């Protein structure tokens, strides 16, 4: 799955409305509904109870949201760590040392 799919579902869950989420995400409501239907088809489970007002999460949806937050968090941390390496704020320093052994006899 693409990261934007996780972001889209999280926004719908946050706003409890596909229409409001679509507006905030700058996509059409039918497009967002299509994304959600595609994800639900892929999972073989419904994410949202769309028969309730406002819409609510199914048990599978709760698992999806929890996991999506973890995935997006890991993605964010990975990017931060890579930026730190590129900006020389983090990395590996290799130090070589020579050891000399003296034998007395």
The domain tally of the chain equals 1
Please check whether residue 91 lies inside any domain of the structure.
no
Please check whether residue 100 lies inside any domain of the structure.
no
Please check whether residue 29 lies inside any domain of the structure.
yes
Output the pLDDT for position 86. 87
Q: Find the CATH number of the domain harbouring 58.
A: 1.10.10.10
Alpha carbons 1 and 22: distance in angstroms, whole number: 19
pLDDT band at residue 50 using 50, 70 and 90 as cut-offs: confident
pLDDT band at residue 84 using 50, 70 and 90 as cut-offs: confident
**Cβ-contact 21, 12 below 8 angstroms:** yes
- pLDDT per position as a tens digit, 10-19: 999 999 999 9
Please check whether residue 102 lies inside any domain of the structure.
no
Q: Domain limits at 39?
A: 3-86
């Amino acid at each position: 799955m693409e990261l934007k799919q996780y972001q889209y579902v999280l926004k719908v869950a946050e706003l409890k409305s596909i229409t409001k989420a679509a507006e905030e995400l700058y996509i059409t409501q039918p497009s967002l509904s299509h994304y959600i239907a595609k994800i639900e088809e892929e999972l073989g489970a419904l994410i949202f109870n769309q028969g309730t007002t406002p819409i609510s999460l199914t048990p599978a949806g709760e698992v999806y949201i929890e996991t999506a937050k973890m995935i997006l968090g890991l993605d964010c941390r990975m990017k931060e760590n890579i930026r730190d390496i590129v900006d020389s704020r983090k990395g590996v320093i290799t130090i070589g040392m020579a050891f000399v052994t003296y034998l007395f006899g």
